Amino acid sequence: MKKVLVSDNLGEAGIELFRNAAGIAVDVKTGLKPDELKAIIGEYDALVIRSATKVTADVIDAAKNLKVIGRAGIGLDNVDIQTATKHGVIVMNTPGGNVVTTAEHAIALMMAMTRNIPQGTASLKAGKWEKKNLQGREICGKTLGVIGYGKIGSIVADRARGLKMRVIVYDPYVTKELIEKAGFEAVSLETLYQSADFITVHVPKLKDTIGFLNKAAFEKMKPGVMIINCARGGIVNEADLYEAMRSGKVAGAALDVFETEPPGQSPLFELDHLICTPHLGASTLEAQTNVAVAIAEQIIDYLQNGTIRNAVNVPSITGELLRRLSPFLSLGEQIGKLQSQLIHGPLKEVEIAFAGDFQGMDMSPVATAALRALLAPVVKDDVNFVNARLIAKDRGIKFSETTSAESEDYMNLITMKCVTSEMTNTVAGTLFGKTDSRIVRINTFRLEMIPKGHLALIHNVDRPGSIGEIGTSLGKNQINIGRMQVGQEEEGNRNIIFLCTDTPIPAPVIEELRGLASVKKVIPLEF
C-alpha cells in the first residue's frame, strides 16, 4: 500500500481520486508545523502541497520513503528542488491549471481600482454617499503596459484588447515578431513606462526581477499611472511604491501578492487608493478543482504505473534509461544553465548537437533537459520536461537537434548553439570519466571548466601579470578562490578565466574587476 500525505488544502475532487485509487492510502493533515511534518514524512511515498508547506532540505532528508512531491499549482518556490533531485525524489507541478483565472484576476483588479469599487463598497456600508469623491476613469482607449508576455501576460493582453484598450508589451525574452503577430505592440521598457496608463507585471520572481518596479522605474512613468501585480510578491518594491503613491505619481495600485505573506501591517494599507487581495489570483473554484484533479491523477499514475508527467527535475522515461542517461542529463542541464546566463536578447534559434559514442541511447531527453534549463530563468516554474519544446515553439524559438557518430577530440560531446536577436553563443561539454561534467568550449575559447558553485567568467587580455591583478583584487576583498580554469582563444590574444569562489562575488567587487586594465568583461555565474 502506497501512502500519500496531503499537507495543504486541496480540492475535494483530488482527495476523492486518491481515496478511490487502488493500492493507495491518503492522509490529509494540514497546518503542520515544520517539526511535525519532519517527524511523520518518513512513512509516506508521496507528498501533495500547495504554497503553505515548506519542503526544505531537512524535510527531504527525513523523508526516507518519499518518491514524489506534487504541487497543486505552478509555483515551486517552497520546494528545495535541488535536494529533492539529489535524493531521487520527483517534483511535479500542474502548469496551466490556474493560468486563465490569474489573468482574469489582474483584469478584475484593474477594473475595481479604476472605478473605486472597494472604496465605494466600504463607504456605502459605512452609511456614506460619496459619489463625487469616488469618481473613476474609463479604461476604453487607455494604454495597458504588460511586462512579461508569458502564458498569463498574453491572456491579460488579449482580454484587455477586448476592452478596447491599446496594449503595449515589454518582454526581453520574446521576439518582437511574435508579439506583433498576436496583434500587440512590442516596445522597450522605457517606452512602456512613458506611455502606459496602467502597468501590469507578469514575470517570474528571479534575482533580476526582485524590486523590478522600484523608485527609478516609478520616476520614469506617466503621472497618474496605475499598477497591478498578480505575479509574485517582491517584484514591486513596496516601500518605493508607498512613496510614489504618496507623492501622487502613482494614482492607484492593486496588489494580490506581497513581499511577505501574510503581510501583517503595511504602510501601504494606510492609503485609500490601494486595493488588495490575499493572493487570490488562482483562487477560483474552477482553478482549484483543475489543479487538485491534475496533481492527483499525476501522482496516482506515477505510484501505480511509474509514469512521470509534468516533472520539473526528471524527464518522462523509464527508470533504467534514466539511470543510464543521468550523467548526460546533468551535463545538458549545466550547459543550458550556463547559456541562460551568457546570452542576451530574445531567443530565435537553439541548436543542440550530439557527437560521438552515446551507447545507442535516445538523447532527446538530454536535449530537452538543456532546453528546459535554458528557458527556466525566463518562465521559471511553468517549464518542465513535458512542455519545454512547446514553450519554445510558442515563443517563436526554432529548436533542432542533430546526432553524429563522429567526434574529433572527445569520446562524446554535447554542443548547444543559441541565436538571439543580438548575438550567437556556443557552449560545448563532455563527461570526464563516467559522471564528471566539463564545459570544454565557449565560442572560440577552449577550456576545461567544472560547472559547479559560485563562478565568475572573466575575459581578459593574455599578457603577463593580468591573472595576478585579478587575484590581488579578490584577495584584497577577502574573497577566496577555490579553483581556477583558464581557456585560450583559438586565434587571438585573449584568455577566458573561470573562477570558483567560496562565496558569491559582491557587485562592488565585480565592478572593481571590470575596472582593471587587462579585463574586458566579467560575468558572475551560479550553478
Nearest to 521 by CA among 502, 497, 501, 503: 497
Determine the Cα–Cα distance for residues 383 and 386; give it in Å rounded to an integer: 8
Which listed residue (159, 279, 372, 441) is catalytic?
279
Instruction: Identify whether 105 is a catalytic site residue.
Output: no
Determine the Cα–Cα distance for residues 366 and 341; give it in Å rounded to an integer: 19
Provide the 3-class DSSP secondary structure of residue 437.
Answer: strand
118 and 275 in contact (C-beta within 8 Å)? yes
Which listed residue (12, 138, 261, 511) is catalytic?
261
User: From the CA atom positions of the chain, what is the Rg in Å?
Assistant: 25
Q: What is the DSSP string of 270-281?
A: G-TTEEE-SS-T
Determine the Cα–Cα distance for residues 364 and 352; give it in Å rounded to an integer: 10
470 and 510 in contact (C-beta within 8 Å)? no
Q: What is the DSSP string of 224-260?
A: TEEEEE-S-TTSB-HHHHHHHHHHTSEEEEEES--SS
Place of cell 526516507: 64
Which listed residue (50, 105, 232, 395) is catalytic?
232
Helix, strand, coil percent values for the chain (each to nearest 5): 35, 25, 40
Compute how many other C-beta atoms are within 10 angstroms of the C-beta atom of residue 366: 25
- Dig out the grid coordinates for 306 from the structure: 511509474
487 and 446 in contact (C-beta within 8 Å)? yes
Instruction: Identify whether 261 is a catalytic site residue.
Output: yes
Place of cell 550523467: 327
Q: HSE of 105 in the Cβ direction (CA atoms, 13 Å)?
A: 26
In order of 149, 177, 241, 308, the CA distances from 234 in angstroms are 19, 30, 11, 33
Place of cell 548537437: 353
525 and 457 in contact (C-beta within 8 Å)? yes
The DSSP secondary-structure symbol of 412 reads E
373 and 340 in contact (C-beta within 8 Å)? yes
Provide the 3-class DSSP secondary structure of residue 58.
Answer: helix
Q: Is 412 exposed, middle or buried (0-12, 13-18, 19+ CB in 10 A)?
A: middle
Q: In this structure, are strands 198-201 and 225-229 parallel, antiparallel, or unpaired?
A: parallel
Residues with active-site annotation: 232, 261, 279
